[in-house]
């Protein structure tokens, strides 16, 4: 087996190959992430660039407490991260059950009164993010 020579280039490639499923990874909000299996390369360092400061700091991680009725889930935490999607700021949600990336699933039918955002992961887990009275968020 031949070990390839060390890469001497200083430019960061815009895409890499996922070590888990070998599909192409893409850079999402300063992280190298595989959209297929949700693998995140935390060793990736984004290229330094100038970013305007905004009120909502993207990249901030939040820990959400369970607010539903299930006792067995009361200690389970859900991690979310604010990220920018075009001109909106959305939540990047990590599945509390399998730690995969979750996608927002649209609320079908009528609009609910509670501002509830639903997410699901590729394994079929579903969570809802709910605003709490004190202004923070919870999940169930
Ligand atoms: Zn992958
Ligand atoms: Zn899951």
- Which residue, 35, 32, 33, 91, is CA-closest to 60? 91
Determine the distance separating the centroid of ligand 2 and the alpha carbon of 50, expressed in angstroms: 35
Report domain extents, the chain: 13-48, 61-139
For residue 86, the model assigns a pLDDT of 80
Q: Which helix (H) or strand (E) holds 100?
A: none
Ligand minimally distant from the alpha carbon of residue 76: 2
More confident: 65 or 2: 65
For residue 8, the model assigns a pLDDT of 44
CATH of domain 13-48: 2.20.70
> What does the alpha-carbon distance between residue 128 and residue 112 come to, in Å, rounded to a whole number?
13
In the chain, the percentage of residues whose pLDDT exceeds 90 is: 32
Beta strands in 9-100 (DSSP E): 15-17, 24-28, 31-33, 40-41, 61-66, 78-85, 88-94
- Which residue, 115, 135, 125, is CA-closest to 94? 125
More confident: 42 or 68: 68
Determine the distance separating the centroid of ligand 1 and the alpha carbon of 101, expressed in angstroms: 11
The string of pLDDT tens digits covering residues 117-129 is: 899 999 999 999 9
Reported confidence tier of residue 47, pLDDT bands at 50, 70, 90: low
> What does the alpha-carbon distance between residue 27 and residue 4 come to, in Å, rounded to a whole number?
24
């Amino acid at each position: 087996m031949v070990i390839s020579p060390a890469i001497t280039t200083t430019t960061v490639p815009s895409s890499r190959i996922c070590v888990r499923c070998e599909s192409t990874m893409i850079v999402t909000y300063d992280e190298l992430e595989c959209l297929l299996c949700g693998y995140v390369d935390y060793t990736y360092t984004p290229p330094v660039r100038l970013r305007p400061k905004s009120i909502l700091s993207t990249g901030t991680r939040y820990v959400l407490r369970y607010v539903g009725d299930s006792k067995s889930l009361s200690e389970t935490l859900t991690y979310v991260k604010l990220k920018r999607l075009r001109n909106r700021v959305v939540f990047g949600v990590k599945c509390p059950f399998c730690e995969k990336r979750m996608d927002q699933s649209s609320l079908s039918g009528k609009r609910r009164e509670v501002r509830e955002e639903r997410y699901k992961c590729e394994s079929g887990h579903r969570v809802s993010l709910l605003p709490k009275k004190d202004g923070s968020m919870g999940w169930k």
